[in-house]
Structure 1
Amino acid sequence: MIKSAAVAAIGLFALAGPAAAQPPGPPAGMGPMGGMHAMHGMADPAAMKANMAEHMAQMDRDMHTILRLRPEQETAWRAFRDAMHPMDMPATMTPAPKGPQTTPQRLDAMNRMAAERQARHAKTEAATRAFYAALSTEQQAVFDALHRMHGPGMMKHGGAGGGGPHP
């Protein structure tokens, strides 16, 4: 009798083992794509967007505190912040072209991408120069110190070379 109980227990453990090893399903309340994103280790895009908006709002408040921005500097600040906004930047991965491309086609695509990057750079440079010019000497010193503390990539946020002001 003890032998048959032991065999039965081993059988139950053998059957229960694979079921216990299954990963949990997506959390409740996730949309149809949310579950798919979770399966691939990615966060829900809506949650990511909300988190990014919250993060950007906090950085906005922090920069106002750190630089002690005055009301008359707000327009220049907004232009600077909007030029640096990561949502304006393209995705890091572009879709592969349909079908094979010739070398001249690939070169044309690279030139278009380089021109887009240059246009984004010109936009951020102009906004940065205008914002910097609107700062007092003391604020410029703080802005410069922030840049030195974080290096030349201070204004970048994310992998696409885009970014928000990242003190």
Structure 2
Amino acid sequence: MKTLQKKFCIALAAISLGIAASAGSALAQSSAPPSASAPAGHGQPHGDPAKWAEKMKERMAKHQAELHDKLKITAAQEPAWKTFIDGMNPGAMPARPDRKEMEKLTTPERMEKGLEKMKEHLAKMQTRLVSLKTFYAVLTPEQQKIFDESHRRMASHMRERMGKQMGEHGPGHKAGDHPPMTDKK
């Protein structure tokens, strides 16, 4: 059984990726390469970060166009659509913290830094939620159903991919490294 913390992290990641992907431009705008302190194989998952970012940008543009067409956005809804897409853009991905600097910190200091990053992420998600709600309000009930179904399928796909990437124990762990943590009550 997974710990509450692991469940929270996975849910937060799935929600943030789901919202960003349905908006259309989440990771595509990020072309910042991972820092030199990032271990090989971490950071951008597909080799060259610039190529990966360009590929994501293309995928997101395609997704946006498909969603726009599925929703049959009217001329009157176009300004709301553009505002929605712009509002969902998270901007550039933040650089990874320097590993050597992080190692100098105490455990509570590292946890405080992590909490600061989570608060920044939460603030960005809240901004995206406002953008989402504003756009959703201009959709007809039929468009809302289409939007909801599209997001539901995409979120399910993202959770499935994350589960496969994370494996049973998370990144960097192999089965048998240690027994899974359980919640005992």
- Largest Rg, 1 or 2: 1
Q: Does 1:95 align with 2:98?
A: yes
Deviation at 1:94, TM superposition (A): 3.8
Aligned twin of 1:69:
73
Question: Would the aligned equivalents of 2:90 and 2:124 in 1 still touch at CA under 8 Å?
Answer: no
**SS of 1:72's equivalent?**
coil
Question: Would the aligned equivalents of 1:76 and 1:127 in 2 still touch at CA under 8 Å?
Answer: no
Deviation at 1:62, TM superposition (A): 0.4
1:141 to 134, 141, 145: 145
Gapped runs of 5+ residues in structure 2?
1-32, 34-39, 166-185
After the TM superposition, list the runs of 4 or more consecutive aligned residues in structure 1 that deviate by more than 6 angstroms.
Answer: none
Aligned twin of 2:50:
46
Q: Which amino acid aligns with 1:131?
A: F
Could you report, residue by residue, the CA deviation over 1:85-107 in whole angstroms, capped at 9, with x for unpaired residues?
3654446x543251521244223
Supply the RMSD in Å over aligned alpha carbons. 3.4
Aligned twin of 2:119:
115
Could you report, residue by residue, the CA deviation over 1:86-133 in whole angstroms, capped at 9, with x for unpaired residues?
654446x54325152124422321221121111111011111101100
Higher RCO (CA < 8 A, seq sep 6+): 2
Question: Would the aligned equivalents of 1:76 and 1:134 in 2 still touch at CA under 8 Å?
Answer: yes
Gapped runs of 5+ residues in structure 1?
1-32, 34-38, 160-167
Change in CA separation of 1:96 and 1:56 when aligned onto 2, cut-off 3 Å:
same
With the length of structure 2 as denominator, give the TM-score of the two structures.
Answer: 0.51
Change in CA separation of 1:88 and 1:124 when aligned onto 2, cut-off 3 Å:
farther
Number of paired residues?
119
Q: Which amino acid aligns with 1:113?
A: K
Could you report, residue by residue, the CA deviation over 1:120-153 in whole angstroms, capped at 9, with x for unpaired residues?
1101111110110011111011112223334467
